Amino acid sequence: GESVGLHLPTLSVQEGDNSIINCAYSNSASDYFIWYKQESGKGPQFIIDIRSNMDKRQGQRVTVLLNKTVKHLSLQIAATQPGDSAVYFCAESGYSSASKIIFGSGTRLSIRP
Amino acid sequence: DGGITQSPKYLFRKEGQNVTLSCEQNLNHDAMYWYRQDPGQGLRLIYYSQIVNDFQKGDIAEGYSVSREKKESFPLTVTSAQKNPTAFYLCASSDGGLESDTQYFGPGTRLTVL
């Protein structure tokens, strides 16, 4: 079946450095992608989204890149801070009229002081 | 202060008992969803509702039931038929349907079966 996955289950980054979290999706017809941040014991928080007619979108300290050729999505966090520690997961949707959002299992980002 | 609320935050249940998890939203969203999250896994859709008085099964609906009598409320009942109910349950809502509208999540309810 279709799936959304992540290349790295854990990522350790020095405080102040940039973080890059990757995600692969399997359905080339997916046209909407979302990144969520989930802190321990809390619900997922929307970070940024991107549609398939774009290849880059920027927010505050975050950038999402979409490479449709290789079906790859990434989340870049600039100047990583301790508060960025969380699990990040991507989601895809939109590939059929009865489609639903498919969530990946997540990457844990930890920040070294 | 708009958002999605879930209660209780922690819930304990004895085997064989039904339990109902609350989800309320004041975002005026049409669609609401229930997901289950298990360690190391992605969110799995239990039930969703795109409009009042209507709901559909998700991928893992067996052992669960829902109702949507009001736009702002979408309670989930975990029945005794659910074989492995211990999990973190997340409610979400969105402005439109399933296809592309961003879903916003509540804080979750952690259910433990004793």
| Residue A8 scores a pLDDT above 90 | no
**Chain B residues inside the 8 Å CB shell of A98:** 98
- What mean pLDDT is reported for chain A? 87
pLDDT of residue A101: 82
CA distance B87 to B81: 15
Query: If 0-12 CB within 10 Å is exposed, 13-18 middle and 19+ buried, where does residue A69 land?
Result: exposed
For A106, name the nearest residue in chain B, comparing CA atoms only. B42
How far apart, in Å, do the first and last CA atoms of chain B sit?
Answer: 35
pLDDT tens readout for residues A50-84: 999 999 999 999 999 999 999 999 999 999 999 99
What's the half-sphere exposure (Cβ side, CA atoms, 13 Å) at B71?
A: 8
Nearest to A99 among B35, B98, B104 (CB): B98
